[in-house]
Amino acid sequence: MKELDINAFSDFNDQEIGRRVLLDDPVMRVMLLSLRAGQGLPEHTANGLVTVYSVGGRVLFYEGDQCSEMVPGKLIRLTPGRVHRLEAKEDSRLLVTMIRPADASAWTAMAPNGRALDLRQTPRERRHSTVFYAFDQLAVGESFFLVNDHDPQPLHAQMEQLRPGELAWEYEARGPYEFRIKVSRVAPGATSAPAAAVSAGSH
């Protein structure tokens, strides 16, 4: 369980919209947007499922020709791929939840201990981040089995660089068509960084 008190964060910025990533995993990202009156986001789209919840203030949210007045307590769900924009009429905060297209490996990475993390159906651009997330969920002495369609040596080198002294990497099968590796946590990791405030950019 992870608890966050969003009332403890104040990310208003006169120059740009304040963005704080509260939760980020292979399946979901949750962000807190802090907007000064008059700030807004130009037209853009989101490919996945997105919900927006108003924490405080008043924001006009446009999706196509539709307009919703976002006041505290209001929740909207966006249509994937449809153009939307927003403008703040008062100092406001919005809680934005984005659901990423997820495969089996993403769900396994949420609680990986003792399980097989099969990357063969995972898009290549998401494989490394999924494995890092899974590894960071392990306690000392826990492990998972990494299954891949090629020898992931670049991933191994990256993990050794970014998690030095924390992991053991043991081959159980070495191809030619399936590589199976036991990845274990052998030492505690660095303390996780707190939720980060992020500068302007699209959500």
| Domain contains 1 | no
| Domain contains 179 | yes
CA–CA dist 9, 34 (Å, integer): 9
| Alpha carbons within 13 A on the beta-carbon side of 39 | 20
Mean pLDDT, range 181-199, rounded to an integer: 72
Place of tokens 């002495």: 141
> Does 109 share its domain with 50?
no
Q: Which two tokens stand for residue 61?
A: 């949210």
Q: Which two tokens stand for residue 71?
A: 């006041």
> Does 126 share its domain with 158?
yes
| Domain contains 43 | yes
pLDDT of 191 strictly over 70: no
pLDDT tens, position by position, 157-166: 999 999 999 9
| Domain contains 91 | yes
Mean pLDDT of the chain: 90
Domain holding 181: CATH number? 3.30.110.40
> Does 108 share its domain with 172?
yes
Domain that holds residue 60: 9-100
From residue 152, alpha-carbon distances to 82, 86, 118, 121, 146 in Å are: 37, 43, 12, 15, 10
What's phi and psi for 108, nearest 5 deg? -60, -35
| 3-state secondary structure string across the chain | CCCCCHHHCCCCCCCCCEEEEEEECCCEEEEEEEECCCCEEEEECCCCEEEEEEEECCEEEEECCEEEEECCCCEEEECCCCCEEEEECCCEEEEEEEECCCCHHHHHHHCCCCCEEECCCCCHHHHHHHHHHHHHCCCCCCEEEEEECCCCHHHHHHHHHHCCCCEEEEEEEECCCCEEEEEEECCCCCCCCCCEEECCCCC
| Domain contains 199 | no
pLDDT of 70 strictly over 90: yes
| Domain contains 25 | yes
> Does 144 share its domain with 181?
yes
- Order of strands across the sheet that contains 92-99: 75-78, 49-56, 92-99, 28-35, 18-24, 196-198
> Does 39 share its domain with 96?
yes
| Boundary-marking domain end, from 100, 130, 147 | 100
The count of structural domains within the chain is 2
Q: What is the pLDDT of residue 195?
A: 46
> Does 44 share its domain with 124?
no
pLDDT of 201 strictly over 60: no
pLDDT tens, position by position, 17-48: 999 999 998 889 999 999 999 999 999 888 77
Binned at pLDDT 50, 70 and 90, residue 189 comes out as confident
From residue 127, alpha-carbon distances to 3, 50, 58, 156 in Å are: 27, 23, 39, 12
From residue 106, alpha-carbon distances to 123, 150, 177 in Å are: 11, 19, 22
Q: What is the pLDDT of residue 64?
A: 86
| Domain contains 2 | no
